[in-house]
């Protein structure tokens, strides 16, 4: 990658061809090279480069380096810093370096690099060049949404769906080969009860689709019978056995039930605009593989008999074991996740697996991962397996989000309320008078879905968050509404410039973008931080940092717009003329594109007018 940054001639005619790079990462690489060349004997030299308030970036390696050097070679940090600078490879990125007395190196970017990079954003679009080399296995399996058949899809599943969808988009954006898996809970003992009840209540289920409108109520009915009628309970157990043996009749009935739930899930996904690539591969998919896993673990002598159960201990002595086979011979959630893990490594050839599941299941996943390595299903040094956990959703009363009567919130109704509230907000702002009915409808949808997703994604996912439409729809804070307005404002500035030509073509002709006003330059640098933020998230999966970045970008844009006229009225020989500052319109365009790209990665549709 470094070779890309090197320039043959000193005259900088530098254009990035493959997209935006993380400037922080590139600066780090440059200093890494400098350290290696200046001090080849120090193999573990600390490479400390951060963003800086004093300059653009800062390298803090000189102080620790001076301590590492052997006594006879020891130099004060200041001199070490100067040595590093002398070994920096030629590059188009760094403009100026200044050593502070304590040895910190303050790094400012080369303005020409910034200007060229902005032109690139407009001429070639917003692309981020991945950090990983092409050799690395870039297949990522993302397990998200995962509601349970015959049960209500709840706000926990909503969070998983929103976060998982965004992570999948972002991974794809940085060039990963993404497999989206919906690990639906469609197998297990509760199905015996459901099917037994179905067969008894609708004996003609094979020819007529059972008219079950409310599967939750149906679930409750069968649960009641299961608890109250010992005969029914016995039949339910028997039905489970027949289902797990995959008896044709049972499978037919099971499919009927799954289809009813599936329709509901699909409705939610359509409303949310979840990627069509999310494939349903529920627990039932792994049935045969569970048999194999049990055999395999048995062979590896990893299963221990415990009161009729077969359990597997991890390396953590304080943790409970996994239950692999129950005393009645049945399998559990643990068994299915062991089989799932193995399948994703062996068959899917995953280089990374991400489970987007609420934080409450953290212990379960730690055990699965631990036992998975024990069983030799993967090597944590080559495959990255992680649980992307998240906190619970609270109501405005700061208690677990429930309806007034204490029931689980129905997602379809929640989203529908979002649509109503969003329209009310737009009407309150008089937008219905400005927009065509189609534009109003597009804005309503963008705001409704955008506000729900953004509220979720803009909080540190480890924390709980309060679901409040009032807060989500506020257009003053770090909200989707604010960003969507900011974006439409920028789009309208560009429209008002009435350019005679396509902006991309205009940018192609610019040889150098003028960034002489301090606020132009600040905005340009903020735009270019995009790649850094995206690549960091591809690593740590903290999407709220993208939200903060976009919010900051729109704030920096406002500061720029306050002082830098894009379109000016000027007097020329006594005649008033309109002057369009093309460099500023190009900055507007680059800002708009980055915001649009950022929002689309979050799964949020943007609109041109709102």
List of residues contacting ligand ARG (CB under 6 A): 143, 146, 148, 183, 185, 337, 340, 355, 357
Nearer to ligand ARG, 119 or 166 (CB): 166
Q: In angstroms, what is the minimal distance from the CB of 288 to ligand ARG?
A: 17
- Taking the complex as a whole, the smallest distance from the CB of residue 183 to ligand ARG amounts, in Å, to 4
Residue 157 CB, nearest approach to ligand ARG (Å): 6
Nearest CB to ligand ARG, comparing residues 68 and 333 = 333
Minimum CB separation of residue 488 from ligand ARG in Å reads 38
Alpha-carbon distance of 71 to 79, in angstroms, equals: 15
Comparing CB distances to ligand ARG, the nearer of 360 and 380 is: 360
Angle, CA 277 vertex, CA 461 and CA 537 arms, to 5°:
30
What is the full DSSP assignment across 219-273?
HHHHHHHHHH-HHHHHHHHHHHHHHHTT-HHHHHHHHHHHHHHHHHHHHHHHHHT
DSSP 130: -
**Minimum separation from the CB atom of position 184 to ligand ARG (A):** 7
Least distance from ligand ARG to the Cβ atom of residue 100, Å: 50
Give the span between the Cα atoms of 348 and 530, in whole angstroms: 31
Gap between the terminal Cα atoms of the chain: 42
Q: Name the minimum Å distance from CB 143 to ligand ARG.
A: 5
Cα dihedral across residues 222, 223, 227, 230: positive or negative: positive
The Cα 458–Cα 466 span in angstroms is 12
Of 84, 123, 129, whose CA–CA distance to 103 is shortest?
84
119 versus 388: smaller Cβ distance to ligand ARG: 388
Nearest distance from residue 340's CB to ligand ARG, in Å?
A: 5
d(CA 71, CA 215): 76
Distances (CA, A) of 258 to 192, 196, 234, 451, 586: 13, 15, 23, 31, 52
3-class SS string, 399-454? CECCCCCCCCCCHHHHHHHHHHHHHHHHHHCCHHHHCCHHHHHHHHHHHHHHHHHH
Q: Mind giving me the DSSP string for 482-504? A: HHHHHHHHHHHHHHHT--SS-HH
146 or 604, CB closer to ligand ARG?
146
Closest CB to ligand ARG among residues 143, 445: 143
CB of 125 to ligand ARG, least distance (A): 35
Q: Which CB atom, from 173 or from 355, has the smaller least distance to ligand ARG?
A: 355
Show Cβ contacts of residue 196 under 8 Å, excluding neighbours closer than 6 positions: 222, 232, 235, 236, 238, 239
Nearby residues of 35 by Cβ (< 8 Å), 6 or more positions away = 42, 45, 47, 61, 65, 84, 87
DSSP summary character for residue 144: -
Q: Measured from the CB atom, is 220 or 441 closer to ligand ARG?
A: 220
Q: State which residue, 56 or 152, has the beta carbon closest to ligand ARG.
A: 152
């Amino acid at each position: 990658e470094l070779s890309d940054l090197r320039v043959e001639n000193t005259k900088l005619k530098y254009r990035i061809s493959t997209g935006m790079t993380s400037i922080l990462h590139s600066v780090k690489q440059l200093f890494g090279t400098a350290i290696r060349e200046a001090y080849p004997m120090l193999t573990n030299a600390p490479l400390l480069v951060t963003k800086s308030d004093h300059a653009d970036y800062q390298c803090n390696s000189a102080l620790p380096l001076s301590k590492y050097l052997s006594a006879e070679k020891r130099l004060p940090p200041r001199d070490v810093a100067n040595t590093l600078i002398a070994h920096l490879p030629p590059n188009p990125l760094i403009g100026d370096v200044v050593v502070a007395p304590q040895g910190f190196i303050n790094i400012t970017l080369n303005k020409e690099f910034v200007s060229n990079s902005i032109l690139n954003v407009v001429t070639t679009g917003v692309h981020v060049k991945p950090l990983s080399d092409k050799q690395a296995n870039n297949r990522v399996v993302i397990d998200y949404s995962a509601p349970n058949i015959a049960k209500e899809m709840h706000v926990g599943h909503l969070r998983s769906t929103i976060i998982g969808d965004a992570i999948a988009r972002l991974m794809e954006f940085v060039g990963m080969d993404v497999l989206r898996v919906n690990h639906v809970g469609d197998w297990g003992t509760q199905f015996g009860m459901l099917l037994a009840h179905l067969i008894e209540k609708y004996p003609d289920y094979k020819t007529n689709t059972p008219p079950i409108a409310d599967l939750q109520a149906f679930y409750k009915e069968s649960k009641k019978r299961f608890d109250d009628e010992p005969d029914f309970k016995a039949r339910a157990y028997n039905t489970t056995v027949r289902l797990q043996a995959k008896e044709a009749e049972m499978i037919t009935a099971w499919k009927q039930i799954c289809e009813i739930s599936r329709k509901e899930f699909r409705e939610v996904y359509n409303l949310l605009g979840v990627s069509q690539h999310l494939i349903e591969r529920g627990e039932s998919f792994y049935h045969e593989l569970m048999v194999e896993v049990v055999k395999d673990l048995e062979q590896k002598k990893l299963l221990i008999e415990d009161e009729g159960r077969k359990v597997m201990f991890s390396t953590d002595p304080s943790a409970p074991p996994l239950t692999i086979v129950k005393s009645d011979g049945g399998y559990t959630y643990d068994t299915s996740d062991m089989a799932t893990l193995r399948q994703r490594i062996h068959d899917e050839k995953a280089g990374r697996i991400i489970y987007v599941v609420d934080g409450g299941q953290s212990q379960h996943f730690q055990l699965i991962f631990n036992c998975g390595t024990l069983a030799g299903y993967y090597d944590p040094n080559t495959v990255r397996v992680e649980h992307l956990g998240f906190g619970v959703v609270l109501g405005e009363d700061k208690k677990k989000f429930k309806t007034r009567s204490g029931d689980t919130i129905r997602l379809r109704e929640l989203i529908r309320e979002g649509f109503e509230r969003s329209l009310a907000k737009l009407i309150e702002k008089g937008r219905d008078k400005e927009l065509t009915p189609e534009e109003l409808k597009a804005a309503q949808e963008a705001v409704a879905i955008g506000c729900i997703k953004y509220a979720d994604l803009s909080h540190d996912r480890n924390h709980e968050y309060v679901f409040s439409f009032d807060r989500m729809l506020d257009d003053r804070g770090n909200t989707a509404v604010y960003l969507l307005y900011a974006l439409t404002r920028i789009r309208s500035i560009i429209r008002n410039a009435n350019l005679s030509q396509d902006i991309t073509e205009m940018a192609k002709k610019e040889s150098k973008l003028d960034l002489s006003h301090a606020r132009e330059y600040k905005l340009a640098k903020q735009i270019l931080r995009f790649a850094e933020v995206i690549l960091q998230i591809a690593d740590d999966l903290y999407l709220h940092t993208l939200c903060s970045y976009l919010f900051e970008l729109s704030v920096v844009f406002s500061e720029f717009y306050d002082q830098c006229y894009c379109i000016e009225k000027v007097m020329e020989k006594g005649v008033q003329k309109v002057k369009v500052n093309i460099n500023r319109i190009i900055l507007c365009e680059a800002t708009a594109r980055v915001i649009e790209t950022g929002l689309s990665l979050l799964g949020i549709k943007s609109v041109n007018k709102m």
